[in-house]
Amino acid sequence: MDFAEARRFMVDGQLRPNRVEDPRIVAAMRDLPRERFVPPALAARAYADADLPLPGGRAMMQPMVLARLVQLAGLRRGERALVLGAGTGFGAALVAAIGGSVTAVESDPALLAIARAALPAAVPPGTVTLVEADPSHGHAAGETYDVIIIEGGVAAVPRVVEDQLAEGGRLVAISLQGGPPGRAMLLRRAGGAVSATREFDAHAAPLPGFAGAPAFAF
């Protein structure tokens, strides 16, 4: 299979018609070897316009939905980004490729093993730090981030995660509350308060651990 051609078709057929306009994201999605971030048996399906089932009942987010979610976060070069439910690491690689300094949190050892194998050849050294932990707890207490991306469907954002959003920071996630379709949500912290806006319809597989103890219940 010609993966470079598959990436081009993905960009031209999935991203551009669906308002993915940030040139950094378009370039990264055209260049990143998404096929390396999936189990070898699924490599031929890596560029499909759909969620991709992964081991452990998880799923890799549809390329267009991930691209639009990252675009919604409005990441600026050099900002600190936290990717929760990072799975096999493709979303973290995308955020790093557009200029973020990324901490990626994932609890599934099998998915982390794929990420550890794929990331070194995809992004510059030191741009992504992988952490094996419960994504619903965010990362280290007391740390704050300019951008937080929850890479999956959620009913609520836990208070501990919201508290890790820096002043001026943005958090993006796919809300599944109320049934399909899901909805991309943007949370912003300004003046110490957090507000939420509903953005575009989107589907994402539910992410374990994001159903209770909310700061925001969408």
CA angle 11, 78, 25 (to 5 degrees): 5
Range of the domain at 153: 3-217
pLDDT value of residue 214: 57
Domain with residue 158: its CATH number is 3.40.50.150
Question: What are the backbone dihedrals phi and psi of residue 42, each rounded to the nearest 5 degrees, phi first?
Answer: -105, 5
Bridge partners, 93 (sequence order): none
DSSP conformational letter for 103 = E
Q: Specify the DSSP element, H or E, that contains 22.
A: none
Distance CA 103, CA 129 (A): 5
What's the number of domains the chain is made of?
A: 1
Question: pLDDT of the chain along its 218 residues, tens only?
Answer: 899 999 999 999 999 999 999 999 999 999 999 999 999 999 999 999 999 999 889 999 999 999 999 999 999 999 999 999 999 999 999 999 999 999 999 999 999 999 999 999 999 999 999 999 999 999 987 789 999 999 999 999 999 999 999 999 999 999 998 777 899 999 999 998 999 999 999 999 999 888 755 555 55
Distance CA 150, CA 173 (A): 5
DSSP conformational letter for 41 = G
Which residue in 85, 86, 97, 98 sits closest to 122, CA to CA?
Answer: 97
Which 3 state secondary structure label does DSSP give 141? coil
Q: Count of CB atoms within 10 A of residue 199's CB?
A: 16
Q: Where are the beta strands (DSSP E) in the chain?
A: 52-53, 59-60, 80-84, 101-106, 128-132, 145-154, 156-158, 165-175, 183-190, 193-201, 214-217
Question: What are the backbone dihedrals phi and psi of residue 214, each rounded to the nearest 5 degrees, phi first?
Answer: -80, 150
Distance CA 156, CA 135 (A): 13
Segments in the chain forming alpha helices (H): 3-10, 23-31, 63-73, 90-97, 109-118, 159-162
